[in-house]
Amino acid sequence: MPTPLPPDWTDRLALDRAHVWHPFTQMQVHEADPPVPVVGGEGCDLLLANGERVLDGISSWWTCLHGHGHPRLVSALERQAAKLDHVMFAGFTHEPALELVVRLRPKLPLNLTRAFFSDDGSTAVEVALKMAFQAHLQRGQKGRDRFGALRGGYHGDTLGAVGVGELDNFMTGLFRPLLLACERLEVPEDPRREVAPDLTDWPERLEAARQSMAGFFATHGERLAAFIAEPLIQCAGGMRMWPPELLRELQAQCDAHGVYLILDEVATGFGRTGTFLACEQAGVAPDLLCLSKGLTGGTLPLSMTWATEELYGHFWGTPASGRAFLHGHSYTGNATACAVACASLALFDDEPVLANAAALNEAMTAAFTALAAHPAVRQARVLGTIGACRLVDPATGAAHPPDDRFGWRLHRRALDRGLLVRPMGDCLYLLPPLSTPPGRIHEAAETLLDLLSRE
């Protein structure tokens, strides 16, 4: 049984129930299962109001890179907020934004030279979609009024981002009358990421996927303004890991058909897949790159959309030309967030962040190899610091019925055991801070094995 909450939290939870609307939640659920009060964060742990601590096994929605409350990030936030908290970015600039560009650009593909700031992953994607469409118009390509995307993708919850996503649980169907025109391309999962891979006919399947991609672009290429994809892994789409060979083919097809390639590295960037960017593993350089989540180490909201000089050139002109990119946000280029992002990037230079990620990869592989032996687990797989598997009914091998809410129950029971996991449908995954000691991953696997055995 969980430790009871302090008495003062009874009133606070009543206030929450009376006035707060939580994301991705049918709020009636919280009548029986109230939100869990968090009072602090320390390293890879969250500190709960009842005095317990839990391993943040999903990095607080994949944002926390270096652990909660890292002293260098906190110090950067305090120093910058005391000096300049925020100033509008239209017509003004400031040192933290310029330092961030200087620190980040050498870590990106060389062709990306122009940085546009915004607030979160969805807005970074909105910026990229609008830039691609407008650039084509301003180069005389008026027929490119559609986008391409991978089946089962997710790129955020604003309408443009929803339009290039395809997840029923994010209400793509509900908002379909409002969405962009988008063509979908299926790519196979990469069996080589599984801890027990079945490579039967894999070369043939990979070649068939290449041919399918070529056919897709032959059919739709002339109408597409851009194609968007998460490189190597579709995160919210169930941690579907797809082949780097197909990412290279995707870039080749985009280049051949004059389609801008947008890579959404909001979740995959900053070491999550083992390299600073996932696209490095395929040797791919996109026309537009979307970054957020780990950009500030998970401390403050901030995002960036990086573009090539070629694309930027299509927006160059006199004020009367009408070629400007008329888009912005109140907190574009927020000085405090930029300063924290600079401190986060400095940690990559000053501390063994990617070496820690390599050690975490070994621990994750061992953990999911152990999980794969359980009859309730299928398709255990690992990419960098991300481990995932599919949960099934061990008696039948079939997925749990949605009404059973198996993932939610596992989430709540794991919290009582000191572990935060939040399965997406039948996908159970771990995506902890890069600073997580490998031993904590082994403990998490033991906890999950015990919980699955008790079902």
Query: Does residue 124 register a pLDDT over 60?
Result: yes
123 pLDDT more than 80: yes
In which element (H, E) is residue 76 found? helix 71-83
Which strands form 377-383's sheet, in the order they lie side by side? 377-383, 386-391, 427-430
Q: Which residue has the tokens 């940085």?
A: 115
How far apart CA 40 and CA 85 sit, in angstroms, is: 23
More confident residue, 445 or 171: 445
Query: Which of these, 232, 216, 207, 196, lies nearest to 368 by C-alpha position?
Result: 196
| Whole-angstrom Cα Rg for the chain | 22
Express each pLDDT in 203-214 by its tens digit: 999 999 999 999
pLDDT reported for residue 172 = 60
Predicted TM-score of the model (pTM): 0.97
Looking at the predicted structure, is the pLDDT value of residue 168 above 80? no
Question: 280, 75 in Cβ contact below 8 A?
Answer: no
Element (H, E) at 113: strand 112-118
Helices (H), 334-437: 335-350, 353-372, 406-416
Residues 332-372 have pLDDT tens digits of 999 999 999 999 999 999 999 999 999 999 999 999 999 99
pLDDT of residue 332: 97
Tokens 């991705």: give the residue. Answer: 24
pLDDT band at 101 (very low <50, low <70, confident <90, very high): very high
204 neighbors 257 (Cβ within 8 angstroms)? no
Query: Tens of pLDDT along 6-40?
Result: 999 999 999 999 999 999 999 999 999 999 999 99
User: What is the C-alpha separation between 395 and 376, in angstroms, rounded?
Assistant: 8
Cα–Cα distance, 208 to 1 (Å, whole number)? 52
Cβ atoms of 210 and 242 within 8 Å: the answer is no
How sure is the predictor about 282, in pLDDT bands with cuts at 50, 70 and 90? Answer: very high
Which two structure tokens, joined as six digits, stand for 239? 């941690």
What average pLDDT does the segment 388-402 reach?
94
Residue 408: its pLDDT value, please?
Answer: 93
Token readout for 216 is 């897709």
Residue 455 has pLDDT above 80, yes or no: no
Q: What is the mean pLDDT of residues 278-284?
A: 98
Q: Which pLDDT score is estimated for 402?
A: 87
- What is the pLDDT confidence band of residue 2, given thresholds at 50, 70 and 90? confident
Does position 247 have pLDDT exceeding 80, yes or no?
Answer: yes
Phi, psi of 252 (to 5 degrees): -60, -40
- What is the residue-averaged pLDDT of the chain? 96
* 215 φ/ψ angles, rounded to the nearest 5 degrees: -65, -40
283: exposed, middle or buried (Cβ count in 10 Å: 0-12, 13-18, 19+): exposed
Task: Give pLDDT, residue 171.
Answer: 58
Q: What confidence score (pLDDT) does residue 167 get?
A: 79
Would you tell me the crossing angle of helices 71-83 and 335-350 to the nearest 10 degrees?
A: 150
Q: What is the pLDDT of residue 174?
A: 84
Q: Which two tokens stand for residue 168?
A: 């029923």
pLDDT of residue 204: 98
Query: Is residue 182 scored above 70 in pLDDT?
Result: yes
Band of pLDDT at residue 169, cut at 50, 70 and 90: low
- State the angle between helix axes of 335-350 and 95-104 in degrees (0 to 180), rounded to the nearest 10: 30
Look at the chain and count its residues. 455
Q: Residue 350: which residues within 8 A CB-CB, separation 6 or more?
A: none
